[in-house]
Amino acid sequence: MTFFTDPAFFVLLVLAAIPAAILGFLGRSQRFYLLGVSLLFLAFLFSKTPLAGLAFVFYLALSFSVSRLFLYLRSSRPSQSLQAPPSLPGRADLGSDTPGRYGDDRPQASPNLLGPSYPAGSKPPAIPGIAKSSRTRNGFSPSEPAGSKPPAIPEMALFLVVVGILLLPLVAYKASALFDASLLGFLGISYITFKTVQVAIEIHDGLIKELGIVDYLAFLVFFPPFTAGPIMRSRDFMHDIRTVPQQSDYRELFTRGLLWFLIGVFYKMVCSAVFSIAIWYLPKALGNASWVAIVAGQIGSAYAYGFYLFFDFAGYSLMAIGIGAVFGIKVPRNFHYPFASIDIKDFWNRWHMSLSFWLRDYVFMRFVRTVRRHRLIGSRVATSCCGYLLNMGLMGLWHGVTLNYLAYGLYHGLLLASHELFQRTSFFKRHKDTKPYRIVSWLVTFNLVMLGFAIFSGQVSLSGH
């Protein structure tokens, strides 16, 4: 069964949503029901690919074991005071935007990135359902035997080993794809890996104090965003799954979720289908026309692909948001009118927001602060530019280990770095708020984004084929 396209999926979804809605309207918890439904959907998803299903089960067991051991080893060390962020990073309600802007390296929505900053003896604010006590209802208590000594392993080295283990299956899968194989691969591996790595990072930052198997499993197998996102944050999910909304709040959440789901169906089934037809038939319709008409057809096809990609991907995301709302989970928003962006930074604050903000918080911000802390690069601007190239290069490779995906990531890294330099010019400071500048900037950004999609799709190919 294929999510969001197979008719069987929608039939099963309706059957699963009815009890969920009843529980929500009665003000009852859906915590265990959601876990059971998610496991059922994933069983259908992997029913025709049992080897991929086994790879997924293996990764679940591996990630939980490694994360649990990491939490135990970390909690066995002398206590550290770690600062929790002022707000949950990545929280995007159904009708709101995530705070902070891409490329803004101020720590307004990021976790404590490089170390403790609380005064000695003070405690960070508690995260509901996460940092409450040393014991958990589901059976993991990060305690140590009396008289034992903490392991003499450098914490950063231990953290890097854990992240490396969690990334290994994804790296193996991406590398094996170069040889038309699928080593340890399964549908959704990229998104699941981001989730497991994020949990490890938050354990390292001291933001997760307990790790129950039920909630951890529910977070990873939550089925609406499993195959195509959006990427959820663990503390957001834990807050939602452990909090039973008031009946009036659930009614509003359910209504808005149903609306988002229907809009997503329209995006996916109608809008993306129209542009998909244009991609394949626009150049062919010109036949033996002049080279000018052929070039125009190729340009039209590139723009059609850009709109197809948006409506297809945004359709998936909106349906996931809507389904999540029925189950009482606020799945983060993934798109916010991206083609209205007036510059390339604005675009990455609007396009694939859950991925963009994840990379911003866990890659870009950490890289910039590490470089500044150790004074590896003298210039603040040069540090940011290097961070953009690293960040977007990883984004490209996350999609696949191919020249086109890498080029797509580096292309956007160069655009972001160039815009960082341009923002410091007197011309930009004089004209940035004028209407003519904003119109021209929007037009330039729109066309640069479409060129990037042509690189991403392989229409502008670097492989020579």
**Catalytic-labelled residue, pool 352, 399, 412, 431:** 399
Residue 196, exposed/middle/buried by CB under 10 A (0-12, 13-18, 19+)? Answer: buried
User: H helices of 154-233, where?
Assistant: 155-177, 189-204, 213-221
- Residue 361 has φ and ψ, to the nearest 5°, of -75, -40
Closest to 166 (Cα-Cα) out of 192, 136, 134, 202: 192
Active site residue 399: yes
State whether residue 228 is helix, strand or coil: coil
Dihedral over Cα of 331, 332, 334, 337: its sign: positive
* Gyration radius (Cα) of the chain, Å: 23
Interhelix angle for 31-45 vs 7-25, to 10°? 180
C-beta atoms surrounding 49 within 10 Å: 15
Please report, for residues 17, 197, 359, the alpha-carbon distance to residue 362 in angstroms, rounded to integers and kept in the order given.
34, 10, 5
Contacting residues for 456 by C-beta, under 8 A, at least 6 apart: 309, 399, 404, 405, 408
Please report, for residues 173, 184, 201, 346, 354, the alpha-carbon distance to residue 170 in angstroms, rounded to integers and kept in the order given.
5, 8, 17, 30, 19
Tell me the C-alpha distance between 206 and 82, whole Å: 6
Tell me the C-alpha distance between 351 and 336, whole Å: 7
Q: Phi-psi category of 131—alpha, beta or left, where left has phi over 0 and alpha has psi -120 to 50?
A: beta
Do 182 and 173 touch, CB atoms closer than 8 A? Answer: yes
Residue 414, exposed/middle/buried by CB under 10 A (0-12, 13-18, 19+)? Answer: middle
**Buried/exposed code over 150-162 (b: 16+ C-beta within 10 A; e: otherwise):** eeeeeeeebbeeb
Please report, for residues 294, 320, 407, 418, the alpha-carbon distance to residue 192 in angstroms, rounded to integers and kept in the order given.
42, 15, 24, 32
Tell me the C-alpha distance between 94 and 323, whole Å: 12
Residues assigned a catalytic role: 399
